[in-house]
Structure 1
Amino acid sequence: MEVFWFSFNAIAPLMLLVLLGVVLRRIGLISESLNSGVNKLLFQIAFPISLFYNISGMELAEFFSLKLLLFALVSIISIATLLMLIVPRVLHDRKKCGAFIQGVYRGNYLLLGYPLARNLFGEAGIGPTAMLLPIVIALYNVLAVFILEYYSDGSTERIRWSRIIVSVLKNPLIIGAVTGVIFASLPVSLPLVLDRTA
């Protein structure tokens, strides 16, 4: 029973926030345009700054785990590969397979995984999760393009890897995380005014 309540207390706050969003949308306090604007603000500014701030204050050697990194990469690639083998046997419309596979393997790492790690493990959970984030997001993007292109015409010859790399490098979340890693490796700290602002 103790395990149940521990898990409940970690997951319930996230579910309550989702429920709050549904209620606010139903009563008209959140419009489609506001929702779109807030999403852009969070994705392009708030989340990258949060990632930078959390990572820049870490001891990188303390949180980096090669085993965890390999586990994440192998898990994601294995799930995507299994889905590419199974889904076409169940879903016979080939053009729908790509979108379906993405919906299954592509977890909401930032919005759910990040706060869930904090709720389960406290501040100690933020470090490893933040360190994984740029690598996981980059892998998600590469797999997404590969899978969608493969199921659109059965070929991956038209994939422009240079465009994928540029889109990954321009991703605000990756910029925030990588900048945080670089800053954390330098013998400097944030000025007090910026530290308090973040």
Structure 2
Amino acid sequence: MEILNTIIPIFTVIVLGCFARQRGFVPPEFLAPANRLVFYIAIPAMVFGAIAGSSLKTQFDPQVLGLTLTAIIVSFGVTCAIGKFIHLPPRRSGTFVQSAFHGNLGYIGLAVAYYFLGEEGFASAGILTGFVMILQNFLSVFVLQFYADATPSFHNPGRIITKIMGNPVILSAIAGILFALTGAALPLIVVRTLDIISGMSLPLALLLIGATLSFDLIKARFYQLLLAGFIKLMVLPGLGFLLYSLWDIPSSVYVPGLILLASPCATISYVMAREMNGDPEFAVAAISSSTLLSAMTFAFWLHLTR
């Protein structure tokens, strides 16, 4: 029942966002500035506040981090092989691979972690998120660059690194970790300010996810999307679950990592596909289909941890 109490409200808000867009309550011109507000201010404030006020000794497990990153790397390699085997066009190959491993951590993964695990579990997920995002972005840039016909704006490795390390969620996670290492406590006035800003992050993020879903492009790419979604929502978290079990890690410790691995395709996949000569239409379809399917797969994986 606890799982349903977590999953149903989250995806109800996502569906509400889709309905609000269709009915005109959320006009297209609202989406870009609202997304910037969430991405650059609200979620970073929430991540920093949760991590800065946490105890790294009790809420960070290096083994979970290592196994989580290992699962992503293995899944990435397998997906690259599958993409080559099914003979996709080059531009779609890179986007297919990215859609199968690049998860929506900031908007959906952290939301599930927060509502399922509470503030302590959210802090653990936030710490992991910083590292996972760095790996995801590096691999995404690599595979899109590899398959691109021409990507002049990304030929400079320094610019790629700057873009990745300039991600506000990554920066807030790093800042939170550094502050937590000092052992100091945030002043009450800062805590309350962060709480107020954080309060709008997840509800608005979920509404925006719903408002940006598009289903018109799914039919023509159904089987490829189904395969990418299966790898992202079942194979990747399945690898993580297997590794956590083999290393005999308690579920209470690895659940934050499993939630991140089980997150659907990241919305930034569309932006990266568009900028790096991938297949942006496939990315939009992958984001939409995997987001809806993740309502069921999240319930499945969270049930296994009980």
Query: Match of 2:74, SS?
Result: helix
Give identity over the alignment, percent.
31
TM-score calculated relative to the size of structure 2 = 0.59
How many Å separate the matches in 2 of 1:65 and 1:159?
A: 36
Q: Distance in 2 between matches of 1:18 and 1:161?
A: 36
Distance 1:193-1:92 versus aligned 2 partners, 3 A rule: closer
Output the amino acid matched with 2:45. I
Q: Give the stretch that moved more between structures: 169-178 or 111-120.
A: 111-120
Larger mean CA deviation between 160-169 and 137-146 belongs to: 160-169
Deviations 1:31-52 (A, max 9, x none): 1110111101100111111111
2:176 matches 1:186: no
In structure 1, the gaps of 5 or more residues are none
Query: Do the aligned residues in 2 keep the contact of 1:145 with 1:159 (CA within 8 Å)?
Result: no
CA-based RMSD of the aligned residues comes to 1.8
1:54 paired with 2:50, answer yes
* Aligned residue among 68, 92, 104 for 1:108: 104
Asked if 1:126 corresponds to 2:109, the answer is: no
Which ranges in structure 2 are unaligned for 5 or more consecutive residues? 195-306
In structure 2, relative to structure 1, the CA distance for the partners of 1:8 and 1:187 (3 Å cut) is closer
Amino acid paired to 1:89 = F
Cα distance in structure 1, aligned partners of 2:19 and 2:44: 27
CA separation in 2, counterparts of 1:68 and 1:187? Answer: 23
Matched, 1:65 2:61: yes
Aligned length: 191
Report the equivalent of 2:14: 18
TM-score (norm 1): 0.89
1:9 to 5, 21, 39: 5
Conserved? CA contact 2:133–2:170, under 8 Å: yes
Deviation at 1:173? 0.8
Q: In structure 1, how many angstroms separate the alpha carbons of the residues matched to 2:126 and 2:147?
A: 32
